């Protein structure tokens, strides 16, 4: 039976369409000839042969998960405190972003700590990987390498070798010979991931699968296997920047939304243990449109610069361009500024950018965005030593945000002396920084920018 599958999300469709209803991706639907795994027809599963399983209480105390740490602190934290035995992790990212580099470094780090590590590459020859390891100064690490794409051979190898950790680079190159379609197709990627994950769980091996994010619909994307694994990490970054961010989007063993920050150097990826410093390092003199946001990424405070540019538009529909922040959220802030504080942006182009290639998703950045927009529009620079944070509601009220203390401490640590935020923040410890709190957007605008004409 012919069916059509979305390479982005794996949704099955009866007919081809230009756009997937499930994930809204364009041109991602391809024909998939593999027989759909439909069970025997007309037969219901009966209880014969089944046995009742033992049920347990919620209150039974289990020992904490015995995690292995790599010693690469940024990676261990994103994993939730180290790698869990018999777990499956997906590391997704654009081609060339540095996934293989990161995982080779991780493999070497785990191996040096005494764990058996097998690194299977379906993309590069063993000699190529050895060359990279040499360049990264990892050639002496006891990592076992294989260049192989046949899943049957890989499983047999892992069964014989019994490593603690197996890295599969990448899942899209793996090929299960019992599935009748080309490597990289949705059915192959799904089957290979399923085999590897169930094998790993049974044998107590941790597996890390690498998945390339695909722009074209030719190869199945990593989203197809997201639901099969315990942990999903995405490795992100802008090509032009040396920063790389490893972000946990799903983690059954730790907090999601945790990030690890790395810098791509000539000797591989270097950990960045104080990312705020890095993200603010390119900030020059106070300029209009630039505001420092005191944010939280995962469990860690992170300061970053929000930049706005507002200019008269020659277009009938002015431009709204956003990098690193949600464009719907920008539209909302512009509307609230207009409706609640009487500041119109009609007839003006608005550009918003989070500096350094960072992507901010916290609503707590609302106020910093509003401040950057106002600062750009009024051509009025905020004092250099000020940080801003707070959520804006549609009524124009400023809403308190969590972890105010952590934000303020980080700001104080980096030399900021003044913070502006919403009323009602829960503060315990006093960081050495003055905090000005306000009730609503109108009050904020007046307090920061003075009375407008």
- Which stretches of the chain bind ligand TYD, using CB under 6 A? 93, 95-101, 132, 135-136, 264, 266-268
Measured CA to CA, the distance from residue 363 to residue 370 in angstroms comes to 12
Q: Residue 193: helix, strand or coil by DSSP?
A: helix
> How many beta carbons lie within 10 A of that of residue 56, not counting itself?
8
CA distances from 126 to 37, 120, 147, 174 (A): 36, 9, 6, 16
Tokens representing residue 256 in the block: 């999601």
Distance of CA 131 to the CA centre of its chain: 29
Nearest C-alpha neighbor of 262 from the set 23, 73, 402, 4 = 73
215 or 426: CB nearest Mg ion: 215
Q: Shortest approach of ligand TYD to residue 184 CB, angstroms?
A: 15
Tokens representing residue 441 in the block: 């957007």
Q: Shortest approach of ligand TYD to residue 264 CB, angstroms?
A: 5
Q: Shortest approach of ligand TYD to residue 96 CB, angstroms?
A: 5
Measured CA to CA, the distance from residue 246 to residue 361 in angstroms comes to 15
Q: Shortest approach of ligand TYD to residue 170 CB, angstroms?
A: 8
Q: Shortest approach of ligand TYD to residue 422 CB, angstroms?
A: 40
Answer yes or no: are the C-beta atoms of 110 and 117 closer than 8 Å: yes
82 or 93: CB nearest Mg ion: 93
Answer yes or no: are the C-beta atoms of 90 and 222 closer than 8 Å: yes
Partner from Mg ion, ligand TYD, none binding residue 95, C-beta < 5-8 Å depending on class: ligand TYD
Partner from Mg ion, ligand TYD, none binding residue 97, C-beta < 5-8 Å depending on class: ligand TYD
Partner from ligand TYD, Mg ion, none binding residue 142, C-beta < 5-8 Å depending on class: none
241 or 413: CB nearest ligand TYD: 241
147 or 264: CB nearest ligand TYD: 264
Measured CA to CA, the distance from residue 122 to residue 129 in angstroms comes to 11
Q: Shortest approach of ligand TYD to residue 357 CB, angstroms?
A: 15
100 or 403: CB nearest ligand TYD: 100
Stretch 78-107: interaction string toward Mg ion, x if CB under 5 A: ----------------------x-------
Return the residues of window 98-157 that contact Mg ion according to CB under 5 A: 100
Answer yes or no: are the C-beta atoms of 15 and 226 closer than 8 Å: no
With DSSP H G I counted as helix, E B as strand and the rest as coil, what are the percentages for the chain, rounded to 5?
30, 25, 45
210 or 304: CB nearest Mg ion: 210
Cβ neighbours of residue 30 closer than 8 Å, sequence gap 6 or more: 4, 5, 7, 185, 186, 217, 218
Number of residues that bind Mg ion (CB under 5 A): 1
Q: Shortest approach of ligand TYD to residue 114 CB, angstroms?
A: 25
77 or 99: CB nearest ligand TYD: 99
Q: Is 7 in the site for Mg ion (CB under 5 A)?
A: no
128 or 273: CB nearest Mg ion: 128
Tokens representing residue 402 in the block: 């969590």
Measured CA to CA, the distance from residue 149 to residue 171 in angstroms comes to 9
Residues of this chain that interact with Mg ion (CB under 5 A) are: 100
């Amino acid at each position: 039976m012919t069916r059509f599958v979305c390479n982005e999300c794996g949704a099955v469709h009866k007919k081809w369409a230009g756009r997937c209803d499930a994930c809204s991706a364009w041109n991602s639907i391809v024909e998939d000839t593999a027989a759909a795994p439909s069970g025997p027809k007309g037969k219901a599963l009966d209880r014969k042969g089944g046995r009742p399983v033992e049920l347990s209480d919620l209150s039974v105390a289990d020992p904490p998960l015995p995690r292995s740490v790599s010693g690469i602190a940024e990676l261990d934290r994103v994993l939730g405190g180290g790698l869990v035995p018999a777990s499956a992790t997906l590391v997704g990212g654009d081609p060339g972003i540095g996934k293989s580099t990161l995982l080779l470094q991780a493999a070497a780090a785990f191996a040096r700590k005494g764990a058996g590590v097998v690194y299977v590459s379906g993309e590069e020859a063993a000699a190529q990987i050895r060359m990279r390891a040499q360049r990264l100064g990892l050639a002496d690490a006891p990592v076992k390498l294989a260049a192989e794409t046949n899943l049957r051979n890989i499983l047999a190898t892992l069964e014989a070798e019994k490593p603690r950790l197996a890295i599969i680079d990448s899942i899209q190159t793996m090929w299960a010979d019992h599935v009748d379609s080309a490597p990289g197709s949705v059915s192959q990627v799904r089957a290979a991931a399923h085999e590897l994950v169930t094998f790993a769980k049974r044998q107590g091996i941790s597996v890390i699968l690498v998945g390339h994010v695909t722009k074209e619909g030719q190869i199945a994307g990593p989203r197809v296997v997201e639901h099969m694994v315990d942990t999903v990490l995405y490795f992100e970054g802008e090509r032009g920047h040396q920063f790389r961010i490893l972000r946990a989007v799903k983690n059954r063993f730790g907090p999601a939304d945790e990030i690890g920050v790395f810098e791509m150097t000539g000797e591989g990826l270097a950990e960045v243990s104080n990312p705020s410093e890095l993200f603010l390092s390119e900030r020059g003199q106070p300029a209009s449109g630039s505001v420092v946001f005191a944010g939280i990424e995962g469990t860690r405070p992170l300061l970053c610069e929000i930049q706005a540019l507002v200019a008269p538009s020659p277009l009938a529909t002015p431009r709204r361009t956003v990098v690193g922040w949600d464009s719907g959220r920008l539209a909302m802030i512009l509307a609230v500024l207009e409706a609640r504080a009487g500041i119109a942006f009609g007839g003006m182009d608005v550009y918003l950018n989070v500096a350094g290639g960072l992507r901010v998703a916290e609503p707590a950045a609302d106020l910093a965005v509003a401040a950057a927009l106002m600062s750009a529009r009024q051509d009025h620079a905020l004092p250099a030593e000020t940080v801003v944070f707070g959520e804006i509601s549609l009524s124009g009220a400023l809403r308190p945000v969590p972890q105010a203390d952590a934000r303020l401490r980080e700001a104080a640590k980096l030399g900021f002396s003044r913070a502006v935020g919403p009323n009602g923040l829960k503060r315990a410890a006093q960081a050495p920084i003055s905090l000005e709190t306000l009730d609503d957007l109108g009050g904020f605008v007046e307090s920061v920018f003075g009375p407008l004409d």
